[in-house]
C-alpha cells in the first residue's frame, strides 16, 4: 500500500467519527499539556536560580576555613583554631592568573546617623568588590585601596540603608557610627534587589580588618578570588590550595569553584524538574489507556471492514500497521494540541505571575511530541494485533 494511501485511510477512519477521535485526542492533549507546563515551570525556575547565583560573576573561586566538601557549612566558618587571615587573602591575590581577591567577614550591627539607627548586615570586604562581585557603585566610590591590615574607617552603604538613615539627603562624606565606632561614608551602592529572600541592599561594607576588630574575630569567613578569563578554574584552585597548605601547615580549607557549585545546583534542579514532569505523566498514562480502549472498540466495530481488507489481499502486517498508524495519528494530533496549550499556558503563567518563571526549550517540545507518538504506537499495538489476527471469513460472516 502506498504511504499516502495508508495515511489517507487512517485520516478517513478518524474523521468518520469526529467526536470520538476528538475526545480520544483530548485525553492525550491534557496529559501532554500537563507535562509541558510542569517541565516549563521547572526549567524556568532552574534558569532563574542559576542566574541569581551567577549574578556575582562566573570566574570565581571561594576559599572557606574547614574541610567540608558538601554544600554545607563547616563549623570552622564560625570558630576555628587555624584562622584564615587577611595575609592569606593578600597572598592568594598575588597568585598567577588571579585578578583580585576579596577577604570576607559578615555580621550584624547597629548603624547610626544623628538620631536614626538601623540594625543591618555588616560585610567586611576589600576594595576589589565591584570587580569581583560585579556590583556597581551608584554614588561616590567603593572602599579605597588601603593597606588591608591598616585600612581607614570608610564605609559604603547599601541603597536600603542609605534610604533609611539619610532619606533624600546626600550621604557622601557624612559620618556614621557602626557598633559605636565612627566611619565616613565613601559611597552608596546601586540597588540590587533581593536574592532568594535575602535583601542585598540592606548592608554596609567596611574594610575586612575593621570588621574583624568590630566582631572581635581572628579569622575571615571566606576569601573570594576572581581569576582571569581563559584560565582553567581547576588550575587556579589547585594553586590556591597548595598556597594555603604551605601557609597553614595542613589542608584546613575548602576550595569551591563557581563551576562546581553551579553544576551541583544544576543537577539537583534537573532531578526536581524531571520528578515534576513525571507527575504530569500520570495524566498521560490515563490518556494512553484511553487510546487503548477506543482502538479496542474500533477494531470490534470494524470487523467487516478488516475482513474485506484481508479478502482483497492485505497481509496481516499491513492491517497491523494501519491500526497502529491510526493510534499514532490520534496521539500525534493530541500531542500537538497539548503542546500548544501547554506552551501557551506556561507563557501566560510567566506573564501573570512574575515570581514563577517559565521557559519552554525547543528540545522539550520535540520530546513531548515524540512521547505522544510513542504512546500512541504502544497503546495501539494490542488492538492492532487483534485486528491482524482476525480470520477474514469469520470477520465477513458476522453481520
Partner 1 sequence: MRSADVVGFCWRSLRGYPLRTGLMLLAMAIGAGSVVVLIALGEGARTYVADRFMSLGTHLLIVLPGRTETVGGPPPMMGETPRDLTLQDAVALLRSTVVRDVAPLVVGSAPLARGNLEREATVLGSTASLYAIRHLAMARGRFLPGGEVDRAEPVCVLGKVLADEVFGDLPPVGQFVRLGDRRFRVIGVLQAMGESLGFDIDEVAVIPVAAAQSLFNQASLFRILVQARNRDAVARAKKAVVDIVRERHDGEEDITVITQDAVLATFDRIFKALTLSLAGIAAISLAVAGVLIMNVMLIAVSQRTAEIGLLKALGAPGSRVMRLFLTEAAMLSLSGALLGLAVAAAGTWGLGRMFPAFPVVVPAWAPLSAVGVALFAGLLFGALPARRAARLDPVAALSRR
Distances (CA, A) of 258 to 35, 48, 57: 32, 16, 9
Pick 10 or 121: Cβ nearer partner 1: 121
For 100, phi then psi, to 5°, come to: -155, 160
Pick 71 or 394: Cβ nearer partner 1: 71
For 237, phi then psi, to 5°, come to: -60, -40
Q: x/- site string to partner 1, residues 249 to 268, per CB under 8 A?
A: -x-x----------------
From candidates 92, 101, 204, 221, binder to partner 1 by CB under 8 A = 221
d(CA 309, CA 316): 10
Residue 67 binds partner 1 (CB under 8 A): yes
Is residue 58 within 8 Å of 257, Cβ to Cβ?
no
Cell numbers describing residue 110 = 547597629
Minimum distance, C-beta of residue 186 to partner 1, in the bound complex (Å)? 20
From candidates 146, 163, 199, 305, binder to partner 1 by CB under 8 A = 199
Residue 248 binds partner 1 (CB under 8 A): no
Q: x/- site string to partner 1, residues 334 to 373, per CB under 8 A?
A: ----------------------------------------
Q: Which residues ranging from 37 to 56 are in contact with partner 1 (CB under 8 A)?
A: 38
Minimum distance, C-beta of residue 43 to partner 1, in the bound complex (Å)? 16
Pick 114 or 285: Cβ nearer partner 1: 285
Number of residues that bind partner 1 (CB under 8 A): 64
Minimum distance, C-beta of residue 65 to partner 1, in the bound complex (Å)? 7
Residues 6+ positions from 166 with CB-CB distance below 8 Å: 113, 174
Provide DSSP, 155-220: EEE-HHHHHHHHTTS--TT-EEEETTEEEEEEEEEPP--EETTEETTSEEEEEHHHHHHHTT-SS-
SS3 125: strand
d(CA 272, CA 42): 7
Q: Which residues ranging from 72 to 131 are in contact with partner 1 (CB under 8 A)?
A: 72-82, 105-110, 118-121
Residue 279 binds partner 1 (CB under 8 A): yes
Residue 163 binds partner 1 (CB under 8 A): no
d(CA 148, CA 127): 9
Pick 19 or 398: Cβ nearer partner 1: 19
Q: How many CB atoms lie under 10 A from the CB of residue 312?
A: 8
d(CA 367, CA 296): 27
Q: What residues make contact with partner 1 under the rule CB under 8 A?
A: 19-20, 23-24, 26-27, 30-31, 34, 38, 65-67, 72-82, 105-110, 118-121, 164, 178-180, 197-199, 202, 214-218, 221, 250, 252, 279-280, 282-283, 285-287, 289-290, 292-294, 296-297
Amino acid at each position: 500500500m502506498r504511504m499516502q494511501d495508508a495515511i489517507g485511510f487512517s485520516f478517513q477512519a478518524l474523521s468518520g467519527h469526529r467526536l470520538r477521535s476528538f475526545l480520544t485526542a483530548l485525553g492525550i492533549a491534557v496529559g501532554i499539556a500537563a507535562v509541558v507546563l510542569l517541565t516549563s515551570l521547572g526549567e524556568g525556575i532552574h534558569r532563574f536560580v542559576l542566574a541569581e547565583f551567577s549574578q556575582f560573576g562566573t570566574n570565581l573561586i571561594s576559599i572557606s576555613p574547614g574541610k567540608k566538601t558538601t554544600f554545607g557549612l563547616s563549623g570552622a566558618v564560625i570558630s576555628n583554631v587555624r584562622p584564615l587571615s587577611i595575609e592569606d587573602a593578600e597572598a592568594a591575590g598575588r597568585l598567577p592568573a588571579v585578578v583580585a581577591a576579596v577577604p570576607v567577614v559578615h555580621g550584624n550591627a547597629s548603624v547610626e546617623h544623628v538620631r536614626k539607627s538601623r540594625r543591618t548586615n555588616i560585610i567586611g570586604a576589600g576594595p576589589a568588590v565591584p570587580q569581583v562581585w560585579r556590583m556597581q557603585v551608584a554614588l561616590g566610590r567603593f572602599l579605597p585601596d588601603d593597606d588591608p591590615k591598616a585600612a581607614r574607617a570608610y564605609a559604603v552603604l547599601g541603597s536600603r540603608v542609605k534610604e533609611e538613615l539619610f532619606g533624600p539627603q546626600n550621604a557622601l562624606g557624612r559620618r556614621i557610627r557602626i557598633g559605636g565606632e565612627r566611619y565616613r561614608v565613601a559611597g552608596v551602592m546601586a540597588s540590587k534587589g533581593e536574592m532568594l529572600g535575602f535583601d542585598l541592599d540592606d548592608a554596609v561594607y567596611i574594610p575586612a580588618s575593621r570588621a574583624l576588630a568590630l566582631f572581635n574575630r581572628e579569622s575571615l569567613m571566606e576569601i573570594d578570588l576572581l581569576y582571569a578569563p581563559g584560565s582553567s578554574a581547576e588550575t587556579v584552585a589547585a594553586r590556591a590550595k597548595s598556597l594555603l597548605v604551605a601557609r597553614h601547615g595542613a589542608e584546613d580549607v575548602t576550595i569551591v569553584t563557581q563551576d562546581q557549585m553551579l553544576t551541583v545546583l544544576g543537577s539537583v534542579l534537573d532531578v526536581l524538574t524531571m520528578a515534576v514532569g513525571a507527575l504530569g505523566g500520570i495524566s498521560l498514562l490515563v490518556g494512553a489507556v484511553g487510546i487503548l480502549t477506543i482502538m479496542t472498540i474500533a477494531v470490534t466495530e470494524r470487523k467487516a471492514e478488516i475482513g474485506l481488507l484481508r479478502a482483497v489481499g492485505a497481509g496481516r502486517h499491513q492491517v497491523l500497521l494501519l491500526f497502529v498508524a491510526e493510534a499514532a495519528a490520534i496521539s500525534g494530533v493530541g500531542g500537538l494540541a497539548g503542546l500548544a496549550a501547554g506552551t501557551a499556558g506556561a507563557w501566560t503563567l510567566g506573564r501573570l505571575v512574575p515570581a514563577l518563571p517559565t521557559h519552554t526549550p525547543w528540545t522539550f517540545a520535540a520530546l513531548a511530541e515524540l512521547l505522544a507518538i510513542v504512546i500512541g504506537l504502544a497503546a495501539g499495538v494490542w488492538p492492532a494485533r487483534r485486528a491482524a489476527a482476525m480470520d477474514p471469513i469469520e470477520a465477513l460472516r458476522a453481520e
